[in-house]
């Protein structure tokens, strides 16, 4: 399916961006993109896999929602992630989502385990991140491998319609309308967790910004935020 080549390349780039940002380590973590109501592209692992940081477009395979090959040869030499239900159940529950990133950012896991609730503790420092955390970030409280539909549905229920969920003692799931946005949300969540940990380690208390500040924290539009941020992330890869 040559028409899928650009999307395969985008998912592979997103995997490398996530690794460059420290959101994954080694071979753990995966990103997917919905193709239609029955198929998705997802990072799969092969016997020659060298890690998420080195993901190639060839590592992004077309599969059906039931985990079977999306076309002849798609899974030759590749294995579908054990936690495919994270992606499938999220996409089934929310048709507006076209991409899912399941990542393992250590700062987010550490902050949650330390009892720190991720909230919008800053504003103009990162407006999209502050908006993402407004009202708090939901937590799926089980530290399990989400490898069944039942567990996937539990995680989606804990997500409660929000774009990101923390999987306690495990990682995060970020869902969005685009692959870049799913990863950018994860980056913002990681930055919030890192800042929260720094504040607590300095003896401070994490407090959400004042409600009155939200009026002057506008949505500056995708050209200024998501599109520019993603160009930056891709440029960072070239300089590594």
Q: Which residues are catalytic?
A: 83
**Is 30 exposed, middle or buried (CB count within 10 Å of its CB: 0-12, 13-18, 19+)?**
buried
Q: Are 167 and 105 in contact (CB under 8 A)?
A: no
Residue 54, Cα to own-chain centre: how many angstroms?
A: 17
Beta carbons within 8 Å of 12's beta carbon, 6+ residues apart: 43, 55, 56, 57, 59, 60
Q: Which residues pair with 216 in a beta bridge?
A: none
Instruction: State which H helix or E strand residue 198 sits in.
Output: helix 179-201
**C-alpha to C-alpha distance for 182 and 100, rounded to whole angstroms:** 6
Q: Minimal CA–CA distance to 40: which of 122, 109, 95?
A: 95
**C-alpha to C-alpha distance for 72 and 24, rounded to whole angstroms:** 30
Q: Maximum distance among all alpha carbons in the chain?
A: 58
Tokens at 180, concatenated: 């870049």
């Amino acid at each position: 399916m040559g028409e899928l080549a650009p999307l395969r390349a985008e998912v592979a780039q997103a995997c490398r961006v996530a690794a460059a940002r420290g959101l994954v380590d080694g071979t753990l973590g995966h990103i997917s993109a919905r193709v239609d109501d029955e198929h998705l592209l997802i990072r799969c692992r092969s016997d020659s896999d060298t890690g998420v940081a080195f993901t190639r477009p060839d590592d992004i395979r077309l599969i059906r929602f039931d985990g079977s090959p999306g076309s002849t040869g798609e899974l030759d030499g590749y294995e579908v992630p054990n936690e495919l239900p994270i992606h499938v159940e999220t996409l089934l529950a929310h048709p507006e989502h076209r991409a899912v990133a399941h990542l393992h950012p250590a700062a987010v896991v550490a902050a949650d385990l330390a009892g720190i609730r991720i909230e919008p503790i800053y504003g103009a420092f990162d407006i999209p991140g502050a908006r993402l955390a407004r009202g708090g970030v939901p937590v799926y409280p089980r530290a399990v491998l989400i490898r069944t539909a039942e567990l996937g549905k539990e995680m989606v229920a804990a997500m409660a319609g929000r774009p990101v969920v923390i999987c306690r003692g495990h990682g995060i799931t970020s869902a969005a309308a685009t692959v870049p946005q799913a990863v950018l949300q994860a980056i913002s969540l990681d930055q919030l967790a890192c800042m929260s940990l720094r504040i607590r380690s300095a003896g401070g208390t994490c407090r959400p910004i004042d409600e009155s500040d939200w009026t002057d924290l506008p949505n500056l539009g995708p050209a200024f935020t998501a599109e520019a941020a993603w160009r930056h992330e891709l440029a960072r890869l070239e300089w590594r």
